[in-house]
Amino acid sequence: MLIHSIATTPFEGQRPGTSGLRKKVKVFQQEHYLENFVQSVFDSIGDYSGQTLVVGGDGRFYNLEATQTILKMAAASGFGKVLVGQNGILSTPAASCVIRKYNAYGGLILSASHNPAGPEEDFGIKYNMGNGGPAPESVTEAVFEQTGKIEWYQTIQCDDVDLSSTGTTEIAGMTVEVIDSVADYAELMQSLFDFDAIRDLLASDFRMAFDAMHAVTGPYATTIFEDMLGAPKGTVMNGVPKTDFGGGHPDPNLTYAHELVDVLYGEDAPDFGAASDGDGDRNMILGNHFFVTPSDSLAVIAANAELIPGYKAGIAGIARSMPTSGAADRVAEAMGLSCYETPTGWKFFGNLMDDGKVTMCGEESFGTGSNHVREKDGLWAVLCWLNILAARKTSVEAIITEHWAKFGRNYYSRHDYEGVDSAAATQVLQNVRDQFVSLCGTELAGRTVASCDDFSYTDPVDGSVSENQGVRVLFEDGSRIIFRLSGTGTSGATIRIYLESFEADTGKQGMDAQDALAGFIAAADDISGLQKLSGRDKPTVIT
Ligand code: VG1
Ligand code: CO
């Protein structure tokens, strides 16, 4: 079959952000836009001829069209095989699992995660390496550079491949294997967790609810919780994926997962609730009238790892992103393990896991995972909790309060101001930077500022340096206020303020986080001029 070289010219702004290239669908639908990016990836990842590529996405609008485009370009560019999820579907952790299991060269994941979907909303694409993890900055920067000088891309002309059923076909000498989207992932989960104990738990009077938010985890959660673990039908809410995610915003937090929150905070609430995001890598954990912060969740899972068969032999170390609370650090210290602090974004955990330095990783943004794959993994975190609950035979709330009593409580909250004018957002951070020297030694909210900086990270494995990863005000007692701009949005800027203070006294651990952090919340506004500059009097989302 004839390979066509199509002439093209660069588009501006094809720089991958925290997690790949995310833009409005309309931007991706421009002629050559997706093709330019895909060709730039292929041009930046070395010699893949005859190798296997994995392709799958979260099922959002444009997922199928993009998949067909990629299949044809992969065939033209000399891949030997593409493994593609049925109907183009692979959750992000499932894609990572498939890349690793079948020794693929890498994968293209089509997702804008929790961002809304549909013709007027967002689409995204990112490249994952052969270890199953997001490409490091060295690769994403090389891709970006290539997008700036691209002159042509290669494709073939052929009919679309039928992705509706599993099986193997060939296009232009390249094998396309359509695989069951769930099977490999479900098998991996079964190898890590005590399914018998969880089945017994779910057969008892313990009740759970899982909200798939009309996004990719629907089929995964239904297979695992209802079919394999015997949870009653209906345990999975909103389990049928839709291309527009039902018009919702599949971000598992107290604001956007309100349907689940209403169930867990309602009358006759179940014992356990969980939700995942658009592409299945995030998770929210709830107990009966109880919210578990993602930072605490990481700490609890690490502290209880020996109860989970896959981690019985112990864990090597823990990593958390810088804005994530220090709860995991305390667990690591007690267990005699190293704890690493990385910039925001899962790609920074890859080297640490590949090098055997850490087993578990987490982010405050509802991301938790381990070295079973190289992405954060929503259902994995839910299964961790179910496994721990089955072993400890107590409630979510009891597990957390006991954890605080033993390790202390890191009061924590993140305030997001979305859709802010970009210049104003930059100024907010600059205002704090301008006071780095004058703030030191002063008192804010009754605590003394010890130091201020722009967070910079040197990767302990390859020595690469990532600068300007967050503006930090650090207090003598370990409390922190951090300012950061989001790298995943598609319109305007999003300012994130991360607030943390530590409380060792069990008598003072029962407060609402917003009340406990009120002084810091006010101080953050004072020193940054945020509300004045953004024209907002309250955050868009509080988590
Ligand atoms: C956000 C989160 C970050 C996460 C990233 C991708 O990035 O803060 O912790 O890794 O989303 O998650 P940012 O740059 O907007 O703060 V996902 O589930 O959207 O792929
Ligand atoms: Co996600």
DSSP secondary structure string for all residues of 398-441: HHHHHHHHHH-EEEEEEEEEEEE-HHHHHHHHHHHHTTHHHHTT
Residue nearest (by alpha carbon) to ligand 1 atom 6: 19
pLDDT confidence of 489, banded at 50, 70, 90? Answer: confident
Residue 174: the pLDDT is 97
Residue 496 Cα: closest atom of ligand 1: 16
Residue 112 Cα: closest atom of ligand 1: 19
**pTM for the full model?**
0.94
At residue 41, φ and ψ (nearest 5 deg) are -65, -50
How far, in Å, is the centroid of ligand 1 from the Cα of 364?
9
How far, in Å, is the centroid of ligand 1 from the Cα of 13?
19
Look at 50-64, 142-156, 401-415, 481-495 and tell me which has the smallest mean pLDDT.
Answer: 481-495
How far, in Å, is the centroid of ligand 2 from the Cα of 446?
37
Tokens of 188: 């991996």
With 90 as the cut, is the pLDDT of residue 491 above it?
no
Question: Per-residue pLDDT averaged across 346-363, rounded?
Answer: 96
Residue 492: the pLDDT is 83
Question: Per-residue pLDDT averaged across 496-519, rounded?
Answer: 94
Residue 130: the pLDDT is 97
Residue 282 Cα: closest atom of ligand 1: 18
Higher pLDDT, 477 or 142: 142
pLDDT confidence of 539, banded at 50, 70, 90? Answer: very high
CATH assignment, 185-407: 3.40.120.10
Q: What is the DSSP string of 276-320?
A: E-TTS-BEEEEETTEEE-HHHHHHHHHHTGGGSGGGTT---EEEE
Percent of the chain with pLDDT over 90: 94
Kindly provide the b/e burial profile for residues 516-538, where b requires at least 16 CB atoms within 10 angstroms of the residue's own CB.
Answer: bbebbbebbbebbebbebbebee
Task: Give every CB contact of residue 5 below 8 A, 6+ residues apart in sequence.
Answer: 152, 153, 154
Q: Note whether 49 and 177 are within 8 A (CB).
A: no
With 90 as the cut, is the pLDDT of residue 132 above it?
yes
Look at 6-20, 349-363, 458-472, 486-500 and tell me which has the smallest mean pLDDT.
Answer: 486-500
Question: Per-residue pLDDT averaged across 141-150, rounded?
Answer: 97
Residue nearest (by alpha carbon) to ligand 1 atom 1: 488
Residue 516: the pLDDT is 94
CA 213 to chain centre: 16
How far, in Å, is the centroid of ligand 1 from the Cα of 123?
15
Looking at the CA of 122, which ligand is closest? 1
Tokens of 101: 């299991």
How far, in Å, is the centroid of ligand 1 from the Cα of 267?
33
Question: Per-residue pLDDT averaged across 468-495, rounded?
Answer: 91
Residue 19: the pLDDT is 86
Residues flanking ligand 1, CB < 6 Å? 18-19, 113-114, 277, 281-282, 321, 344-346, 363, 365, 367, 486-488, 496
Question: Per-residue pLDDT averaged across 219-240, rounded?
Answer: 97
Q: How far is 227 from 338, CA to CA, in rounded Å? A: 38
How far, in Å, is the centroid of ligand 2 from the Cα of 290?
23
Task: Give, as one character, the DSSP assignment of residue 443.
Answer: E
Options 3.30.70.100, 3.30.310.50, 1.10.3470.10, 1.10.3720.10; CATH for 409-542 is: 3.30.310.50
Q: Note whether 281 and 93 are within 8 A (CB).
A: yes
Residue 208: the pLDDT is 98
| Nearest residue to 59 via CA among 216, 178, 181 | 216
With 90 as the cut, is the pLDDT of residue 100 above it?
yes
The single residue of 19, 113, 413, 466 carrying the catalytic annotation is 113
Q: Exposed, middle or buried by CB within 10 Å (0-12, 13-18, 19+), for 111? A: buried
Residue nearest (by alpha carbon) to ligand 1 atom 13: 486
Is there a common fold for 3-179 and 185-407?
yes
- Structural element, H or E, at residue 91: none
Looking at the CA of 489, which ligand is closest? 1
Domain 3-179 has CATH 3.30.70.260: no
Q: Note whether 15 and 34 are within 8 A (CB).
A: no
With 70 as the cut, is the pLDDT of residue 155 above it?
yes
Residue 1: the pLDDT is 62
Residue nearest (by alpha carbon) to ligand 1 atom 17: 113
Residue 289 region, left (φ>0) first, then alpha (ψ -120 to 50), else beta? left
Q: Say whether 479 is catalytic.
A: no
- Choose which residue among 15, 18, 374, 468 to substitute to test ligand 1 binding: the one with the highest number of ligand atoms within 8 A of its C-beta: 18
Looking at the CA of 361, which ligand is closest? 1
Q: Note whether 140 and 345 are within 8 A (CB).
A: no
Question: Per-residue pLDDT averaged across 74-102, rounded?
Answer: 98
pLDDT tens, residue by residue, 156-209: 999 999 999 999 999 999 999 999 999 999 999 999 999 999 999 999 999 999
Task: Give every CB contact of residue 350 below 8 A, 6+ residues apart in sequence.
Answer: 129, 131, 133, 134, 136, 374
Residue nearest (by alpha carbon) to ligand 1 atom 4: 345
* Helix%, strand%, coil% for the chain, nearest 5: 35, 25, 40
Letter for the amino acid at 342? Answer: T
Residue nearest (by alpha carbon) to ligand 1 atom 5: 345
Question: Per-residue pLDDT averaged across 278-293, rounded?
Answer: 97
- Choose which residue among 344, 414, 495, 497 to substitute to test ligand 1 binding: the one with the highest number of ligand atoms within 8 A of its C-beta: 344
- In sequence order, what are the beta bridge partners of 122? 24
Q: Note whether 132 and 104 are within 8 A (CB).
A: no
